[in-house]
């Protein structure tokens, strides 16, 4: 009997070993998981175009249109899930989305929901009820996504007039429905280190983390005095907060940006993360601001992602 049990155990071990990828395949998968670059675009109406931004053919590239907001077109009042487009449609139109995706085969385009301000005030997440908000949001966003031939959505609410459980249910059901209906293929969230913000996004993550593909953590919301060692510590902390998620490193090119800037060691921190096998991807806020720098940091980011760890 004992010998029979030993044989069964050995058989199970052999099956498990055979299912594991060889080391070369595992290394390839690890490299493939760290070649995504994302950039927000269109919020500042300064004429930036998709074609202005350098795109390295060795990386997967996501443009994130900023923003679609559930407010009236003039930004005066909340519309309970009826989203309107608030990005620079003159320069980032459906035709221009189609053109960049045709020319650059590894480019995908998403839209971001919420943002910071709208009209003369903050853009609040403000549903009247879960069911009606989700129904309205699914309908209005599906129309925008199909008109623009978009691939995904990003959740970037910063201000809330609803508790964290309501936020989790509304956003979780919205993403689930859009994915199940084949409207989008990926979704991301964009939290930052603020108690109220983290409470809402972690509630969403804890219940619906399995449908969230990327965590665009806004590391540039930390203080501008952030050092390389502090950045690495923050990265570890947020990796724990969003355990199992694809956490992106990030920096800002706008004048008010905080966190660890490229000039103060961001890429050094990223090279450390890459050596450790922890650098999933990089995103930037925003292409609008980067134009004045000639997009040099976007180029550096993509070269780093495309390179082998050293």
What phi and psi values does residue 189 have, to the nearest 5 degrees? Answer: -125, 155
Whether residue 19 has pLDDT greater than 80: no
Q: Output the six-digit token pair for 71.
A: 């407010």
Q: pLDDT tens-digit profile of 217-226?
A: 999 999 999 9
Q: How confident is the model at residue 29 (pLDDT cuts 50, 70, 90)?
A: very low
pLDDT of residue 76: 95
pLDDT at 44: 97
Mean predicted confidence (pLDDT) in 60-71? 98
Q: H-helix or E-strand containing 288?
A: helix 287-290
Question: What confidence tens digit (pLDDT) does each residue in 129-161 have?
Answer: 999 999 999 999 999 999 999 999 999 999 999
Average pLDDT over residues 207-218: 98
Half-sphere exposure of 149 (CA within 13 A, CB side): 13
Confidence (pLDDT) at 32: 38
Question: What average pLDDT does the segment 238-265 reach?
Answer: 95
Confidence of residue 34 (pLDDT cuts 50, 70, 90): low
For residue 31, pLDDT over 70 is answered with no
- Please list the residues that pair with 284 across neighbouring strands: 39, 251
User: Comparing C-alpha atoms, which of 124, 107, 116, 151 is closest to residue 44?
Assistant: 116
**Would you state the pLDDT for residue 308?**
84
What was the pLDDT predicted at 18? 38
Distance, in Å, from the CA atom of 287 to the CA atom of 64, rounded to the nearest integer, reads 10
Model confidence band, residue 256 (pLDDT cutoffs 50, 70, 90): confident
With 0-12 / 13-18 / 19 or more C-beta atoms within 10 angstroms meaning exposed / middle / buried, residue 214 is: buried
Give 127: exposed, middle or buried? Use CB within 10 Å, 0-12, 13-18, 19+: buried
pLDDT for 269-286, tens place per residue? 999 999 999 998 999 999
Over pLDDT 90: what percentage of the chain?
87
Cα–Cα dist 223/219, whole Å:
9
Is pLDDT of 260 > 90? yes
pTM of the model: 0.89
């Amino acid at each position: 009997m004992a010998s029979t049990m030993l044989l069964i155990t050995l058989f199970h071990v052999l099956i498990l070993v055979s299912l594991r990828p060889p080391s070369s395949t595992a290394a390839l998968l690890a490299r493939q998981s760290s070649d995504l670059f994302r950039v927000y675009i269109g919020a500042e109406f300064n004429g930036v175009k998709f074609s202005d931004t350098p795109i390295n053919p060795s990386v997967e590239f996501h443009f994130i249109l900023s923003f679609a907001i559930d407010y009236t077109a003039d930004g005066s009042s909340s519309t309970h899930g009826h989203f309107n487009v608030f990005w620079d449609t003159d320069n980032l139109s459906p035709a221009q989305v189609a053109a960049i995706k045709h020319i650059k085969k590894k480019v995908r385009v998403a839209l971001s929901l919420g943002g910071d301000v709208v009209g003369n005030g903050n853009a609040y997440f403000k549903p009247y009820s879960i069911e009606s908000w989700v129904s309205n949001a699914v309908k209005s966003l599906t129309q925008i996504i199909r008109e623009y031939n978009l691939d995904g959505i990003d959740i970037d609410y910063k201000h809330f007039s609803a508790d964290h459980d309501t936020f989790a249910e509304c956003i979780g059901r919205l993403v689930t429905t859009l994915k199940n209906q084949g409207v989008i293929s990926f979704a991301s969230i964009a939290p930052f280190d603020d108690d109220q913000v983290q409470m809402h996004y972690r509630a969403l993550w804890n219940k619906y983390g399995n449908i969230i593909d990327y965590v665009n953590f806004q590391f540039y919301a930390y203080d501008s005095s952030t050092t390389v060692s502090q950045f690495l510590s923050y990265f570890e902390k947020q990796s724990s907060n969003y355990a199992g998620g694809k956490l992106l490193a990030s920096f800002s090119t706008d004048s008010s940006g905080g966190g660890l800037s490229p000039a103060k060691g961001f890429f050094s921190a990223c090279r450390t993360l890459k050596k450790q096998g922890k650098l999933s991807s990089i995103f930037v806020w925003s292409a609008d601001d980067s134009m004045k720098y000639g997009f040099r940091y976007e180029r550096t980011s993509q070269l780093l992602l495309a390179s082998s760890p050293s």
